[in-house]
Every structure is written in C-alpha cells, then in structure tokens.
Amino acid sequence: MEAASPSSQCSYSYEKYKETADWLLTQTERRPKVAIICGSGLGGLAELLDDKTIFPYKDIPYFPTSTVQGHAGQLVFGKLQGCECVCMKGRFHFYEGYDIQTVTFPVRVFFLLGVEILIVTNAAGGLNDSYSVGDIMLIKDHINMPGFAGQNPLCGHNDARFGVRFPCMSDAYDRELRVLSKQAAKEQGCDSFLQEGVYCMLAGPTYETIAESRVLQKLGADAVGMSTVPEVVVARHCGMRVLGLSLITNKVVTDYESSERANHEEVLRTTEHRAQDLQRLVSHLVTKL
C-alpha cells in the first residue's frame, strides 16, 4: 500500500477509497460526522479536539503528503465540543504537482467514514475593497477557474456510489450552516470582522498579476486563493453539506503604483494573528450542528 506522490497521475478506484477508509476505521473507534480541512497556518483547529487520535499522512494507505509550509500533514480524530470530528492539518494543492483527483482523495474517504458535514478553511487574498486584513469571509459561492480549463475532479468515469453524473453547484455552500455561522460569530464577538462573499480559486503557485486581480474583481470575486474548490465539488458530489471560511490574510494588489507585494510569510503571520478567532468561531458553530 503505497502513498501517493506529487508526480502520481492515478485515478482512484472505489476500492482504493474504501481500503483507506476501512484501514482508518480499524485503527480508531472514532466515527466522525464532521470533517474540517485546515488551510495555511490554521492547523491549530485540530489542537482543540479532545481524546485525539493522530495519523501522519505518510502512514495512511494511498494518502498524499503535504509539502507546503504551514501544513503539518496529519489526520486527527477526536471530539470538538462533544461532536465527533476528523481534522486535516494540511491539505493538498494542484500547484504541488498533484492531479486533481489526488487533491480531493481525502474527501471521498471522509464520505466512506460517514462524514455528513465538511468545513473547509483557507487563507485568501482580499479582492473586495471593503475587506480588511484579518476579516473572516463566509463563502457563499465560488468561481472555479481551473474548472474553466477542464481541471474538474469529477472529469472521467462517474461512480454512482459517490454521486450523480451532473451534480448541482448552485447550492454548494449550505445556507443553513451560513446562518448558524453568523449566529455563532455574533455570540463570540466575531461579527464585526465577519464578511460573506465569493471565493475564486486559481491554480497557483504564483500570486495574481494586477491585470488578473482586476479581471477577478469584475467577475464578482471577493477573495482569491489556491485551494478549497476541488474539495467542495467532490463533497457536494457525495451529498455532504459544506461550510467554507476564508481568512483574509492580505489585500490583493490592484494598483500599478503600489509597492506592496504578496508573499507567503505575510499570509502565515496574519493567520497566526487571527487564527484563534477562527478557531473560536468554528468551535462554537459545532455546538449548533
């Protein structure tokens, strides 16, 4: 049973997903109903779990490994406010060299574990002029730019055991979960920096040019990043409910006279500053599910 590497171009069979899920089910008594994917620098969410069982990605059959700073590479099972959860400390990205099926591999494993709700978090650049660094954006919709170029995780054979051939995406981000998130934010004193908007995914690893940023604004994007959308597509294909949260870690440069430049270190610094607020929000939200 070999782990996937960035150069792998495999298309996984149902049997491989099930083999991974069955292995995990034999290694832990946990039966999670909520899965949380932690974005850059947001792995602290996993530290909130009680009675933790931790699996390094490299030990899990067929599981990819994360290569990005700020992504620890661990699958953590445990209880969050009494709710059975599984948490990914570090996700996989298209820009690491993984194909789109490998990026989304864990989501179908979660489905076979019995997960019903997926919470995805990410660090994102703010495109909306009214956003401030440190804001948390509830994702209400997305723009799948790699999908426009044919990089959709559902391309190829459709296995009806996971979902239908042509899944709807107009309701990708669960409205009820967004309402509960707003309530949780108000109760936790986070509503002053809570936004709601559209997330746009680019393939990366380069940050956006000024011209590209202006195009994305015209398309209606409020924030931009390099992840999340493929996992959401697969989760919805499997019938999971999805909540997405973007931490606005930098303002996207849209002015040719600006001397500011996006960099990953700034992203991690901002994430460290606001991560506890995001953790409080998610932790309190889980009590409402």
* Residues acting as catalytic residues: 40, 71, 93, 95-96, 123, 226-227, 250, 264
Closest CA to 63 of 23, 102, 14, 113: 102
Distance CA 151, CA 157 (A): 14
Closest CA to 37 of 175, 204, 228: 228
Distance CA 109, CA 114 (A): 9
Closest CA to 229 of 252, 200, 208: 200
Distance CA 229, CA 67 (A): 19
Q: What are 94's two structure tokens?
A: 């298209």
Could you tell me the sign of the dihedral formed by the alpha carbons of 268, 88, 206, 254, in that order?
A: negative
Q: What per-residue string of b and e applies to 225-251 under the rule 16 or more CB within 10 Å gives b?
A: bbbbbbbbbbbbbbebbbbbbbbbbbb
Distance CA 229, CA 3 (A): 23
List of residues 6+ apart from 272 with CB closer than 8 A: 41
Q: What are 140's two structure tokens?
A: 């209400």
